[in-house]
């Protein structure tokens, strides 16, 4: 309290007191809390947006999996649109016998290997080689070359069909007797360019001799060699009018191809029939203790006929290796390898077996169903081993039947012993081929 004098009168003046209106105070408090809550909400929304648009997709690409049982729970995608499924089975040492993918194929895995003569889709008359594999292994390259000489004057080079980094393929004629031009045969001739080194020439000759003396309907064997000019040796093969199978598939846009000027459409039955012929050729090689090591559509050639049918022949490495430089990569070991077609054990341990050929066939079957697309296009070659170890595999192609994709998945099992054999693949594919025929 204080006392002031006003006109000689004493008046008591109370000390000023701050306003304490409860309603006004609560209004200020609500405004402050509301602003803080709104700010927190905005920050939260921004954080969630960042998570869903940036963080979560990255985590999904790295950690999500596609269940081997067929329920596609997770996947990994790339900018190019290719999707790689991750299966659990390759990371395990045992196979889930109850899985739907496995059960659809289980009957063929457990059944005894079928005779080649059971197959109706693929002519099974297999001609035996002149020599056994044991005898062939002791032959030197010069010995084999001397047994396959063709005089240069009997060879006529015509149109250049393909050209690679150091190799060229021509169409040509082989004239056995100039007095009888009806005896001429159309051929393919593989030679080297002027830039080829001695090492590259030796590599082509060595690889070209791998199928020396082998005879099979679905094997493109060497007819002969011409080494009159050591710097430009010639490898002679039977002519295949459809050319390289990979090129043939890639130029067949929208599942259509040209045959004698007419447009035809690829059917799944056609592609399965091609796969059957490839399997038949590999069975023949394996019976002779030969591992292909580079099975792919680029190492197959196709012959078309007026009956709208295809004859596919598996070739050696020499004919097409340098025509597809993007299919081969070097991991610093000074050796170009088809990394994206190799089995995991071949990639990591350099182990090549009949089972590793099965893996490569799975990729080849995928190529057939995609008309020659590049497998694992967006995967860095240096990351392939880790990618496969983590269980990632190629996606199911569009319009590819589930049963064919089941076969691919079984071929890509990380455990070599768990993969199907080629006789089992022959039986399964032949059965599926006949089933397709019932609906066409």
For residue 167, the 8-state DSSP code is: E
281: nearest Cα among 291, 267, 272:
291
CATH of the domain at 431: 1.10.510.10
Residue 267 lies in a domain: yes
Contact call for residues 328 and 312 (beta carbons, < 8 A):
no
Residue 26 lies in a domain: no
Contacts of 345 (CB under 8 A, 6+ apart): 351, 353, 356, 416
Residue 294 lies in a domain: yes
Task: Catalogue the active-site residues.
Answer: 294
Q: Which domain holds residue 112?
A: 92-437
Contact call for residues 244 and 298 (beta carbons, < 8 A):
yes
The predicted pLDDT at position 21 comes to: 55
Residue 16 lies in a domain: no
Domain count, the chain: 1
How is 250-298 classified by DSSP, letter by letter? HTSGGGEEEETTEEEE--HHHHHHHHHHHHHHHHHHHHTT---S--SGG
Give the tokens for residue 101.
Answer: 């993918």
Q: Which residues pair with 11 in a beta bridge?
A: 4
**pLDDT per residue as tens, the chain (440 positions):** 455 554 555 545 455 444 455 566 667 777 887 788 888 888 888 877 766 655 544 444 343 333 333 333 334 444 345 555 565 544 333 334 344 444 445 554 554 444 333 333 333 332 233 333 334 443 554 555 455 788 888 898 999 998 887 888 999 999 877 666 667 889 999 998 888 888 888 888 888 888 888 999 999 999 889 988 888 999 999 999 999 999 999 987 655 655 556 667 788 999 999 999 999 999 999 999 999 999 999 999 999 886 668 999 999 888 888 889 899 998 877 788 999 999 999 999 999 999 999 999 999 999 999 999 999 999 999 999 999 999 999 999 998 999 999 999 999 999 999 999 999 999 999 999 999 988 75
Residue 402 lies in a domain: yes
Residue 101 lies in a domain: yes
Residue 341 lies in a domain: yes
Residue 51 lies in a domain: no
Query: From residue 239, how far is each of 54, 189, 421 by CA, in Å?
Result: 54, 9, 31
């Amino acid at each position: 309290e204080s006392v002031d004098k006003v006109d000689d009168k004493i008046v008591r003046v109370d000390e000023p007191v701050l306003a304490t209106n409860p309603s006004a105070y609560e209004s200020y408090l609500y405004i402050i809390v509301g602003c803080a809550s709104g700010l927190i909400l905005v920050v939260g929304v921004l954080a969630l947006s960042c998570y869903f648009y940036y963080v979560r997709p990255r985590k999904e690409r790295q950690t999500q999996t596609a269940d081997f049982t067929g329920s596609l729970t997770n996947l990994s995608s790339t900018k190019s649109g290719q999707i790689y499924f991750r299966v659990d089975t390759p990371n395990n040492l045992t196979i889930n016998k109850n899985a739907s993918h496995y059960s659809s194929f289980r009957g063929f895995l457990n059944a005894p290997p079928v005779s080649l003569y059971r197959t109706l889709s693929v002519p099974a008359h297999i001609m035996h080689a002149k020599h056994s594999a044991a005898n062939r292994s002791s032959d030197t390259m010069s010995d084999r070359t001397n047994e396959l000489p063709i005089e240069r004057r009997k060879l006529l080079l015509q149109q250049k069909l393909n050209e690679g980094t150091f190799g060229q393929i021509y169409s040509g004629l082989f004239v056995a007797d100039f007095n009888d031009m009806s005896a001429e045969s159309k051929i393919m001739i593989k030679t080297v360019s002027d830039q080829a080194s001695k090492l590259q020439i030796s590599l082509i000759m060595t690889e070209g001799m791998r199928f020396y003396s082998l005879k099979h309907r679905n094997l493109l064997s060497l007819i002969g060699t011409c080494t009159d000019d050591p710097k430009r040796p010639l490898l002679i093969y039977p002519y295949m009018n459809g050319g390289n199978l990979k090129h043939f598939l890639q130029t067949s846009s929208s599942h259509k191809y040209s045959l004698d000027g007419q447009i035809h459409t690829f059917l799944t039955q056609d592609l399965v029939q091609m796969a059957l012929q490839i399997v038949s050729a590999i069975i023949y090689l394996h019976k002779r203790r030969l591992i292909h090591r580079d099975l792919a559509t680029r190492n197959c050639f196709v012959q078309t006929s007026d009956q709208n049918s295809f004859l596919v022949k598996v070739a050696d490495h020499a004919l097409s290796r340098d025509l597809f430089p993007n299919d081969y990569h070097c991991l610093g070991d000074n050796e170009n390898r088809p990394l994206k077609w190799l089995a995991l054990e071949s990639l990591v341990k350099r182990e090549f077996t009949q089972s590793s050929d099965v893996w490569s066939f799975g990729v080849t079957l995928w190529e057939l169903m995609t008309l020659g697309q590049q497998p694992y296009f967006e995967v860095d070659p240096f990351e392939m081993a880790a990618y496969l170890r983590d269980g990632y595999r190629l996606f199911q192609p569009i319009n590819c039947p589930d049963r064919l994709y089941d076969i691919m998945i079984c071929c890509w099992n990380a455990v070599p012993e768990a993969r199907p054999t080629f006789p089992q693949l022959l039986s399964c594919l032949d059965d599926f081929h006949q089933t397709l025929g019932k609906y066409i």
